[in-house]
Amino acid sequence: MARPVNSSLMKSKKSLKPAASVLSLLSQKKQSDWLGMLYGPATPDAPSQQGAANFLISALTLEGGAGLLSDPGTGKTIVSMAVLQHFMPKRVLIVAPLTSLEVTWAKRLRSLYDDIVTSVHDYTGNGVLLIGYEHFRVKKNIKKILKFGFDFALFDESQGLKTRSSLQSRAVRRLRMTVPMRVILSGTPIDESPIDMWAQMRFIAPHVLGDVWAAPRDPRKYEGPYFGEEFCHKAGFMNKQWVFTDKKLPEFLDRISPYLYRLPNEMEQPEFHEVYTELLGRQRRIYDQMAEHGLVKLNDKKAKAGLKPVRDLRCFQITGGSLKMDDESVEMIGRAKQRRLAWLIKRLEKPVVFCRFLSELEDVVDVLGEQFATVRILDGSIKDKKNNKARTRLIEDFQAGQVDALAVQARTGGVSIEFTASYELVFYSMGYSYIDFQQIIARFRRYGQEKRVRVYFIIARDTIDEEPLRRIVSKRETVNPIMDHLRESSMAEAKKVAKKVAKKAAKAAKKEAVTKAIGVDYLADKHDVSGSAVRAKLRDHNVPKAGKSYGWDTKAEADKAWAKTQKAA
């Protein structure tokens, strides 16, 4: 039975201010690694890694859940390591994409923990269990995970939880009441609608937007709030699609902001270039046949697409130059995009070309090979194993300048990789996902990049190839206001923290200056009103308390002496 939640339990943003004790712990605790690596704000207005750590520690202490929704490349992992170092929980669960388990997490976690296990079956109940989403969503694994009683759970790239009916989203829901400290990390938490945030918020703070989507048949089971009924309405085909209600956006943002921190990437925005090409002759005829009729015959083979999603997929393949037939064979259709890519790369220094389909990778490698000496492919078949770190070695070779150009499958190279050795990104083909688009660009636009990133789109004119970019621009117009609000909220929090720190530092400096002048701690005897040695020292050196007279003939003389002391301090 779901636990009834009273909406009056909603916490205000004021309750999540970093507590003074938290600030002092962060500043006084002697650390030689993660806490010391955090950079502070350049100005009081700017969110920073230190501010993010303060926020997460405070939110976890007071509320038990928080999210760091920072731009890719801003150091979410480093901030998370600092938070782990602060709490040092005994049992830690970290779920992340498989590609980032070793490269991003394991090598850093070894600085804090001796026991790091990457299999549920090998975990003994101490240290860190580090697994991928693919393993986490297995039913028998989640049952074992629930039995361990983790103290701390972190989900990296939490946009993987956004679909409320997905296996991993339903699995993580079972952890929300059993793990005392819960964190989500994501640079791209929303794809196209605020609805994407509900399942992620349900994990870290289920009372904020509601733990249940819609009211159950028996309302006594759960009293609400119900996110679907409160923030959405039904539309679309047969009125069955849930759509976010735009007028509810301000309330939505007010509710989630106290639990989320946004650390922006202040690097220069990428430079975008659209490079168009034309489908000609046979390639254009085949494309038109598929787009209009959903049927193409080539060399006694057929490619049928009755449903529109399948037809669109086949049309994308044709613009790329090939078509997968019904018998699983691949037929070459044309070379419009290959010719345009060959023209483009002559003007580039070290390109990384992203492809949506595996069949396109070989065509791209052939084109790159005509211009560059060393060309490599990065796709799903290149993995890190215990005795062969092929993926890591390939990335290191590219970053070291030993590889001149790369052809990358979009799904494989979109997370947990750095391509900062290049600033030239080419989309040979792309999908509709705004999250994937942002993640790919973030592989280049991150710490270590010395130039402005240039992004090139090779687009077949008057085809479905133009649609993904239009769709992504539309999604950006929806997502950016939400992310900007979170950034402003984080800036407001940064100002409060900076003001506290500055006030504390000024007070300490004043105390040190006066103590140095008179040789005694003038605050040590704050509550002692008797004629103690400290008061005698203050009297002898004409350093009274503010507005107080200890040994002076009149209060005016005391105030005058105090004013001089303040000026000196």
Please tell me the predicted confidence (pLDDT) of residue 3.
37
Can you tell me the distance from the alpha carbon of 267 to that of 340, in angstroms, rounded to the nearest whole number? 30
Give the pLDDT confidence score for residue 36 in this predicted structure. Answer: 66
Q: Give CA 498 to chain center in angstroms.
A: 24
Please report the pLDDT score of residue 100 as a whole number: 82
Would you state the pLDDT for residue 277?
Answer: 95
Rounded CA-CA distance 114/117 in Å is: 10
Residues in the chain: 569
Helices (H), 67-148: 76-87, 107-109, 133-136, 139-148
Helix 20-28 crosses helix 49-62 at what angle (to 10 degrees)? 130
**239 φψ region: left (φ > 0), alpha (ψ -120 to 50), beta (else):** left
Residues ≥6 apart with Cβ < 8 Å to 172: 95, 136, 155, 161, 199, 203
Residue 155 phi, psi dihedral angles, 5° rounding:
-115, 110
What is Dmax (Cα atoms) for the chain? 114
**SS3 at position 528:** coil
Residues of the chain with pLDDT > 70: what percent?
A: 79
DSSP code of residue 444: T
- Dist CA 457 CA 214 (whole Å): 41
Q: Which helix (H) or strand (E) holds 97?
A: none
User: What stretches in the chain show pLDDT beneath 50?
Assistant: 1-32, 42-44, 522-535, 537, 542-543, 549-553
Check: CB of residue 74 under 8 Å from CB of residue 64: no
pTM over 0.85: no
Please state the φ and ψ torsions of residue 402, each to the nearest 5 degrees. Answer: -85, -10
For residues 302 and 399, give the distance between their C-alpha atoms in angstroms, rounded to a whole number.
44
pLDDT at 567: 62
Number of C-beta neighbours around residue 43 at 10 A: 10
Query: What is the pLDDT, as a whole number, of residue 531?
Result: 40
Q: Quick one: residue 401, left, alpha or beta (phi over 0 = left, psi -120 to 50 = alpha)?
A: left
User: Which residues are CB-neighbours of 496 under 8 A, at least 6 positions away?
Assistant: 17, 18
**Structure tokens belonging to residue 303:** 């490619």
Contact 187, 262 (CB under 8 A): no
**83 to each of 37, 87, 112, 134, how far by Cα in Å?**
12, 6, 11, 26
With contact defined as beta carbons under 8 Å apart, do 197 and 256 qualify?
yes
